[in-house]
Amino acid sequence: MSKSAPHAPKHPITRSFHGRDVVDNYEWMRDKASPETLSYLEAENAYTESLTGHLQPLTDAIYGEIKGRVKETDMSVPSRQGGWWYYGRTVEGKDYGISCRVAAEREQPWTPPRVPEDGSPLPGEQVLLDINELAADHEFFSLGASRVSPSGRLLAYSFDTSGDERFELRVKDLETGSLYDDTLTDIFYGAVWAGEEHIFYVRVDDAWRPHQVWRHTLGTPESADVLVYEEPDERFNVGVGADRAERFLYIVSSSKSTSEFHVLDFDNPTGEFRMLWPRQDGVEYDVDFIAPGGEEKWVVTHNATGPNFAVGTCPIDQLADLSELDDVAPHDDSRRIEGTDSYRDFLFLSYRAGGIGRLAVADLTAGGIGEFTELEFNEELYTVSLGGNPEWDAPVVRLSYTSFTQPAQVLDYTVADGEFTLLKQQEVEGGYDPAEYVAERIWATAEDGTQVPVSVVRRVDVGVDKPLPTLLYGYGSYEHSIDPAFSVARLSLLDRGMVWACAHVRGGGEMGRLWYDNGKMMSKRNTFTDFLACADALVQSGVTTYGQLVAEGGSAGGLLMGAVANMAPDKFAGILAIVPFVDPLTSILMPELPLTVTEWEEWGDPYHDPEAYDYIASYAPFENVEAIDYPDILAVTSLNDTRVLYVEPAKWIAKLRDTATGGEFLLKTEMSAGHGGVSGRYAQWKQTAFEYAWVLDKSGADAR
């Protein structure tokens, strides 16, 4: 196979905005139906394959390790809903899961059936969906919704077979196994039952913005569906849901900085939704429902009294101003409140403090809201979250717990006595000892003096007596926090003497709302300089050297990769960019593209604002490629991605290869996949193995 690098033809066009003219030689690649585009992408794939062929033994070895550590035939812990326990199973050799249920026993209504060690079916099992059967005739398959009606008799499920995240919904009679004729097409994620006759769902506009809520009546054609709500403001997305008390249906309309709720009695699905608090620019709120002592109240998480949010209450029929609610959890500069989760007898509070997500619970049985008590765990760096808990009157709640070194645990927490019961721990086949690994946190000093946390994970026995090959991961957008989590695949890096680190840079949410605010819009460069400060801190502390350091980021984290490649190419031996957002200015200047207008509150509005245009242009990776030596770069993308179009990394790699004075630039395009990459667990493992083999090679780690 030829190792001659493709050089993309240049078909220059001029982009003109605000008196700024920019010549783009590669915008022609946006036409994915063009034979020239497809030929170019195939040529890049062939080139990547030729230059990474020597990695095949290592890729195969890592794939074998991942596969060998995963319990391929396994079962989730059943979750109670109505008169059934629901769970999922996987079977060795099959790509996809199987969703199932068994009837609940009256004698032990809240004790889940014991999961068999061998992952075999439970007695009396009913298979709801075997996704392997659904996916059998498709190269790509993704489930978008799987919702059982309140009676447990009907299942609404949706699926995508191309990767463009546009779904078809079907309804299955679980008593007979037959499908209804009802078919909903080209819809968004999710579906909500209201009783046994109505399904609420969301549609997207031409720019893939979820903008409409529709109601479908079972047994009627799609053409008879009723438009319930339409959001005209292109900055806002809509969603629909219901509370676990089955008291209200909710429509939420939200932008990056503003939200608004409409509600409807659950037992009146054909009625008219009513607005709660009308939207105010910059004010976000979320609502939950409680009824302590029979008094129905809204529990509202909001930022009307401070950027880190607060929680207040009011009667459902006596709305007070958001700033005048009865405080339950007031605003606190040291705590970022993320939301509440309500049940008949207790209320959970989720928040971040000290860079860690935490949970607290308050009693509701005394007729009011008791004091919140934080759940405590032994590790410094951990992640705990509420799991599937559909039952309003449950005395126990399901929790998920993990850390960088602790495989995921499923716990039941009995609120009345504060007791934890371990139901299941993620099994690592072949043996795993968490004592052989250590996770710690160091701090980097940013350009402006801000202290930025860096999580560092390594084997205990490699120590820090000498610099080690290191993979530094980063994201830093949308207030998304990269929290501690165990990874089977990561062991293949750690066991080869590599360090894995995560830069918790501004733009994420790890350190509170201001952490996000100071890494977006006209402060976006902080995300990039924070990441470089983290790289420097790893080198200065002796963890690694620049020649052993590889950076990784995906999607908006791919923008971070492209920016730091331009700003400090000498600090990295390699950069792995997954579905990278590397041509942001071009994309954000096209309102017709998916996500563009809604993104103006994240990045700025260069379409109307020259200052925003110039600021984004100052860091946009594609715009700023220079005739300098770059680190080796591998960009991975998908042809059918609707979030970050393949054209962005394709243009970026083409320009790098034409302009840079040094560096190896590779593009790998999955020709039948979406934003999440390939589907099917075995294909995903193979993709991860390839990426990690490349990382190990570029870092100089032991590649055996």
Catalytic annotation, residues:
555, 641, 675
Cβ neighbour number for residue 333 with a 10 Å cutoff: 10
Structure letter (DSSP) for residue 175 = T
For residues 505 and 480, the answer to whether their CB atoms sit within 8 Å is no
Q: Is 629 exposed, middle or buried (0-12, 13-18, 19+ CB in 10 A)?
A: exposed
CA–CA distances in Å: residue 179 to residues 169, 197, 379, 482, 511: 11, 15, 48, 40, 48
Residues 6+ apart with CB under 8 A from 235: 255, 256, 258, 597, 598, 600, 601
DSSP string, 105-166: PSSSTTSPPPPPTT-PPPTT-EEEEEHHHHTTT-S--EEEEEEE-TTS-EEEEEEESSSSS-
> Could you give the CA distance from residue 200 to residue 191 in angstroms, rounded to a whole number?
6
For residues 522 and 604, the answer to whether their CB atoms sit within 8 Å is yes
> Could you give the CA distance from residue 487 to residue 692 in angstroms, rounded to a whole number?
13
> Could you give the CA distance from residue 671 to residue 655 in angstroms, rounded to a whole number?
21
For residues 180 and 171, the answer to whether their CB atoms sit within 8 Å is yes
Q: Which string of b and e fits 142-180 if b means at least 16 CB within 10 Å?
A: bbbbbbbbeebebbbbbbbbbbbbbbebbbbebeeeeee
For residues 428 and 488, the answer to whether their CB atoms sit within 8 Å is yes
Closest-CA residue to 301 (of 266, 263, 336, 346):
336
φ/ψ of residue 530, rounded to 5 = -60, -45
φ/ψ of residue 482, rounded to 5 = -95, 100
